[in-house]
Amino acid sequence: MPQQRSVPINDHLRGLTLAVVGILILSPDSLLVRLIGADQWILLFWRGIMTFATLTLYLLFTHRRETPQRFRAFGLAGLVIAGLFALNTTLFVVSIRHTAVANTLVLVSVAPLFAAIFSSLFLGEHAPPRTWIATLVSIFSIGYIMREGLGSASLIGDSAALLLALTMAAILTLMRARRSSDAIPIVASSGLILAVAVYPVTGPLFLSGNDWIYMSILGLIVIPLSFAFTLSAPKYLPAPEVGLVFLLETVLGPLLVWLVIGEEPPPATLVGGAVLVATLTVHAAISLKHSSKANG
């Protein structure tokens, strides 16, 4: 039976920091998708183009003539990840547009379980009991938060959210398997793949004044930065633990929607959110302690 691999403490800190920062940047994603009034396919086109342009310009600025090589270096496996990420983005927008924000994010919370299963089956990285316990406690907490709203959700939106969790787990696992892969050209390529894929079904590519503002924040800042961070995290941290950090968005996303749009969450959201944050904090502290002992 494959032995569980220890994660050096410096790697664990680096991976945890990348994942948390990425999720904090990503947290306005659902709100911005809701605020943009354009058709979902037009939104996806501009989201893809802006992500591709922003990250490609960054690579040109930092690597100059080596930029084409950065894109070629990730190979076929990186292209598969980019394709999955484009699908992941599409599923997210479709889900947000067809069901409540909180419903989308609570159903996506099963991603850590999928990631733990994939990592165990394909990478031989068996999640320690603390990760399984933390994941289950987190999911029960989120279920407690959303227990009243799930019954009225759209079937299309819910189905898209569950597929979203599955594809996100697959992406994190593949990035963990290919730790040498650079996340930035992969995310950039996914934007181009997304824009090309949805272009045939878009209408006139017009955005209103406010939509341009929201779309620019989403496509030029939130998406490129957040996923450049989060998809780099599996280089240093097992996929299930990265997936566990993604649960933070389940609390932060609905809270931002509440503050800006006025969709006030019930008291259960605050209680369940407190349990979730406490669980993630305790899990991270225990993981760091174990990593320190393993490398002491």
> Per-residue pLDDT tens for 170-222?
988 888 887 666 788 998 999 999 999 999 998 888 888 899 999 999 999 99
Residue located via tokens 């990593």: 291
Residue located via tokens 């174990």: 290
What residues have CB less than 8 Å from 152, skipping those under 6 apart?
none
Contacts 24+ apart (CB under 8 A), 277-280: 277/248, 277/251, 279/134, 279/137, 279/138, 279/141, 280/134, 280/138, 280/244, 280/245, 280/247, 280/248
DSSP character at residue 167:
H
pLDDT at 188: 92
Name the burial class of residue 162, with classes exposed (0-12), middle (13-18) and buried (19+) by CB atoms within 10 angstroms of its CB: middle
DSSP output for 243-291: HHHTTHHHHHHHHHHHHHH--PPPHHHHHHHHHHHHHHHHHHHHHHHHH
pLDDT at 70: 84
**What is the spatial distance between Cα 181 and Cα 231, in angstroms, rounded to a whole number?**
10
What is the SS3 string spanning 42-75? Answer: HHHHHHHHHHHHHHHHHHHHHHHHHHHHHHHHCH
Q: Domain segments of the chain: what residues?
A: 9-294
User: How crowded is the C-beta side of 85, counted as CA atoms within 13 Å?
Assistant: 33
Treating both helix axes as pointing N-terminal to C-terminal, what angle do 267-294 and 9-26 enclose, rounded to 10 degrees? 160
CA torsion, points 188, 214, 23, 195, in degrees to nearest 10? -30
Q: With a cut of 70, which residues of the chain have pLDDT below it?
A: 1-9, 145-154, 179-181, 265-266, 268-269, 288, 291-296
pLDDT at 296: 55
